A = this chain, B = another copy of it.
Amino acid sequence: MTRKAQELDRCDCQVIHEDIVNQVLPQMPPEETLYDLAELFKVFGDSTRVKILWALDKEEMCVCDIAYLLNMTQSAISHQLRVLKQAKLVKNRREGKIVYYSLDDEHVRQIFEMGLCHIMEE
């Protein structure tokens, strides 16, 4: 992908700060890495999913347990569990009719804690 326009947003101050920008530019991680990072955080960016992750951090649970716990429909929870599974944040195992979900990543709690640190600082 090429830069759309060389002069677009090339304002005077950019020329002044050219060396700063040129120093940072090569340090930027690949586009894809930053995109994937954003995609991951997007998964954390919904309160339903946050609640599910929080609950699963305490206990392995089946779909309807979570639905009851969060007072939401089974369908809504099922959809969100799918998102969480695609993001490899939860895994599941089937036991007869029941599908048990649990966390698939030990970083979840740490990510939560980092987030809480920020929220608490007021």
Given contacts A14-B68, A34-B51, contact A110 B119 (CB under 8 A): no
CA distance A13 to B76 in the complex (A): 18
Residues of chain B lying within 8 A (CB to CB) of residue A73: 8-9
Q: Are B40 and A42 in contact (CB under 8 A)?
A: no
Q: Are B105 and A110 in contact (CB under 8 A)?
A: no
A residues contacting the other copy or chain, number (CB 8 A): 66
Q: Are B11 and A64 in contact (CB under 8 A)?
A: yes
Interface membership of A4, Cβ < 8 A = yes
CA distance A45 to B39 in the complex (A): 6
Residues of chain B lying within 8 A (CB to CB) of residue A54: 28-29, 34
Q: Are A33 and B114 in contact (CB under 8 A)?
A: no
Q: Are A114 and B110 in contact (CB under 8 A)?
A: yes
Proximity string of chain A (93-108) to chain B, C-beta cutoff 8 Å, 1 when within and 0 when not: 0000110000001010
Residues of chain B lying within 8 A (CB to CB) of residue A36: 119
Contact of A41 among B25, B45, B71 (CB under 8 A): B45
Residues of chain B lying within 8 A (CB to CB) of residue A10: 68
